Amino acid sequence: MKRSWQIFWHVIIWLGLIAFFASIARFSGKMNIRAVLIVFVLYGIINISVFYLNYLVLIPRFLDKKKYKYFALSIVAILIGFGLIKYGFGAIFKSEILMRVKGKETEFLRYFVNTLFITTIFLFLSTVLKFTVDWFLNERVQRDLENQRLTAELSFLKSQINPHFLFNSLNSIYSLAYQKSDTTPEAILKLSEIMRYMLYECNDNKVELGKELQYLQNYIDLQKIRFGNKAFINFEVTGEVTTQLIVPLLLISFIENAFKHGVANDELSPIVLKITLDDGLLNFFIQNKKHAHNRDSSGGIGLANVRRRLDLLYPSKYNLDIRDEADTYTCQLSLVL
């Protein structure tokens, strides 16, 4: 909240409180207008001064800096000083202040003790307000810092995807070019479409699910070109794709690992990829046959990356089950969109 608005609301609240209690006193018939103005306006200003002297000066200068001795001495000085000031005004307006109760003049000690009690209340209220405001401000700062940290971490995780993906794709295209394959231009064009999506469509926190699925399809097409159309994958989407949103580049690591660490050229054991949509729930399933010489592979940095992104972006909204068996590698992800 801007400082001008803070001042505005403080003024409105104090004026409202003074007007409320002054109205009660006036209409009860116990005080005339002159007495109401003196008691509630004059003494109201004095008490409010005590409130903000503690709120704006003493607490920041002494209490926040753990100068407890100076803070205690300042409180005592305020209690005594403002007690004397109030008694001085009471002596000036004796008939409205000191002689208001039963027409008898209130003794100094009794009146002074009463002013100490009232002043203590305002000091206490200002201290409570200061600590409450500081607590909320500190909580907001902590949340902002945490959000900045998470944003930075997510940006770093996302930045890892592009080089990792690009490195693998360029290796594939290099193989095609080395073999002087006629599909090299098509592969470069497909990579261009994929990179355009990654650079321009993935800047938001979430993207349309349909675009993400098309991105997966483009990647699969690129891999098929790389394998000379001898890559076998059964890609199936069940359910209606409408306006669902998903964090971009979240599923690609699973597919990358299936092609990189699995067997993709066995027609009898194709990569199986199934995506099922059911009332805001996405079920992702992928299974691939493992290379005989690569049975212990953990999948590189990709899966560790996606796990961390799921933890940050879908806390308590996903379930990831990875089964590393003797001949097959299976990943199942349930995700609440």
pLDDT digits (tens, 9 = 90+) for 158-199: 655 556 667 767 877 887 788 777 788 888 888 888 888 877
Question: Tokens 């991105």 label which residue?
Answer: 215
Position 298 pLDDT exceeds 50 = no
- Per-residue pLDDT tens digits for 235-280: 999 998 888 999 888 888 888 888 888 888 888 889 999 999 988 8
The two tokens of residue 175 are: 């193989």
* Residue 60 pLDDT exceeds 50: yes
Q: With cut-offs at 50, 70 and 90, classify the pLDDT of residue 320.
A: very high
Choose between 98 and 122: higher pLDDT.
122
pLDDT at position 43:
81
User: Taking Cα atoms as reference points, which of 83, 30, 77, 85 lies closest to residue 58?
Assistant: 77
Does pLDDT of 31 surpass 70?
no
Q: What does DSSP say about strands 318-324 and 271-278: parallel, antiparallel, or unpaired?
A: unpaired
Can you give the pTM of this predicted structure? 0.56
According to the model, what pLDDT value does residue 273 have?
94
What pLDDT is attached to residue 157? 57
- Rounded Cα distance between 7 and 55, Å, is 13
What average pLDDT does this structure show over 188-211?
Answer: 82
Check residues 196 and 28 and name the one with the higher pLDDT. 196
Spell out the domains of the chain, with CATH numbers in brackets. 3-143 (no CATH), 181-336 (3.30.565.10)
The answer on pLDDT for 295 being more than 50 is no
Tokens linked to 308: 């961390």
Secondary structure string (H, E, C) spanning the chain: CCHHHHHHHHHHHHHHHHHHHHHHHHHCCCCCHHHHHHHHHHHHHHHHHHHHHHHHHHHHHHHCCCCHHHHHHHHHHHHHHHHHHHHHHHHHCCCCCCCCCCCCCCCHHHHHHHHHHHHHHHHHHHHHHHHHHHHHHHHHHHHHHHHHHHHHHHHHHHHHHHHHHHHHHHHHHHHHHHCCCCCHHHHHHHHHHHHHHHHHHCCCCCEEHHHHHHHHHHHHHHHHHHCCCCCCEEEEEECCCCCCEECCCCCHHHHHHHHHHEECCCCCCCEEEEEEEECCEEEEEEEEEECHHHCCCCCCHHHHHHHHHHHHHCCCCEEEEEEECCCEEEEEEEEEC
Number of H helices, E strands in the chain: 9, 8
Closest among 265, 160, 259, 263 to 216, alpha carbons compared: 259
